[in-house]
Structure 1
Amino acid sequence: MSDGHSYTLTRTLDAPAAAVYRAWTTPDAYARWAYAAPGSVRMDVRPGGAWQATMVTPDGTEVPLTGSYLEVEENRLLVVGMDVPGRAEPSVMVVELDGDGPKTRIELRQTCDTVEERDMAEQGSTMLLDSLTRFLAEGPTA
């Protein structure tokens, strides 16, 4: 792995760690906040388990994504590998949760090969955290 170009995003969410973890690991919930096409999300949330989702960009373009879970600690840690066409190694995103009662500190970290890739990934991750914050504020749904 190269030294690369990294970013770290941190937020405090108004939801317990278990609710944040469920939002990241339940296909229907994930699809609702993570810009995924309905019915496209599949998750086998365990080390070595695969995931897939078709993301929908603001202009309506569908982007199929695949990857695997590299590390999983319920309500605390997800290390997610994202397949990148033409690369042998996946791009890795670390999602760390630190729950403190009704609030959770979430940290996303990723290292990319280029400044451009890092900037795009950071922008995408910022959009995800904004959407996750809104989703959690809506509260549990049936």
Structure 2
Amino acid sequence: MSATDDFSYTLTRTLDAPTGTVWQAWTTPDQYARWAYAAPGSVEMDVRPGGAWKATMVTPDGGRFPLTGSYLQVDEDRLLVVGMDVPGKPEPSAMTVELDGDGPRTRIVIRQMCDTTEERDMAEQGSTMLLDSLTAFLAEGTTD
């Protein structure tokens, strides 16, 4: 089965933070761990095209699962295309994060193409949770 637009999703949100702050939240291991459900100390990022990343995610029930991948495209404060390794698949699943600044606010767009409806629904739910958590993190103003 090949991926089609039927198995993609796009999420858009306006955040009350400038693009540089949003970029740092996505690309700084300590900040990312604080809002993205990652175990403290588990996040490693080499944010450049071809650079690797890894994190151990923690589920609400306390379960832990490791994630790995690479950065496919990086355009600071504008675009991050993150490849996520998927067991049993030869190619990573790519998630695109676009940032568009408007002074003190940032429009963020997350896109992902998936192989099945179930995969899309799970990925979209996970990305929605991430955006909710990122929104709360930025509202706290504790990005130092």
Q: Which consecutive segments of 4 or more residues in structure 1 shift more than 6 A?
A: none
Q: Which residue pairs with 2:3 in the alignment?
A: 2
Q: Which residue pairs with 2:28 in the alignment?
A: 26
Q: TM-score, normalised by structure 2?
A: 0.96
What is the identity percentage for the equivalent residue pairs of Structure 1 and Structure 2?
78
Q: Distance in 1 between matches of 2:112 and 2:143?
A: 31
2:87 matched to 1:49?
Answer: no
**Following TM superposition, by how much is the alpha carbon of 1:141 offset from its aligned partner in structure 2, in angstroms?**
4.4
Q: Which residue pairs with 1:131 in the alignment?
A: 133
Q: TM-score, normalised by structure 1?
A: 0.97
Stretches of structure 1 that go unaligned for 5 or more consecutive residues are none
Q: Which residue pairs with 1:102 in the alignment?
A: 104
Alignment of 1:70-109 (within 5 A): 70-109=72-111
User: RMSD of the TM alignment (CA)?
Assistant: 1.0
Q: Which residue pairs with 1:64 in the alignment?
A: 66
Stretches of structure 2 that go unaligned for 5 or more consecutive residues are none
Q: Which residue pairs with 1:11 in the alignment?
A: 13
Instruction: Write the letter of the residue equivalent to 2:94.
Output: V
2:123 matched to 1:121?
Answer: yes
**Following TM superposition, by how much is the alpha carbon of 1:2 offset from its aligned partner in structure 2, in angstroms?**
2.9
Deviations, residues 21-61 of structure 1 (Å, cap 9, x unaligned): 00000000000000000000000000000000000011111
Q: Distance in 1 between matches of 2:115 and 2:128?
A: 19
- Secondary structure of 1:11's counterpart equals strand
**Following TM superposition, by how much is the alpha carbon of 1:3 offset from its aligned partner in structure 2, in angstroms?**
1.9
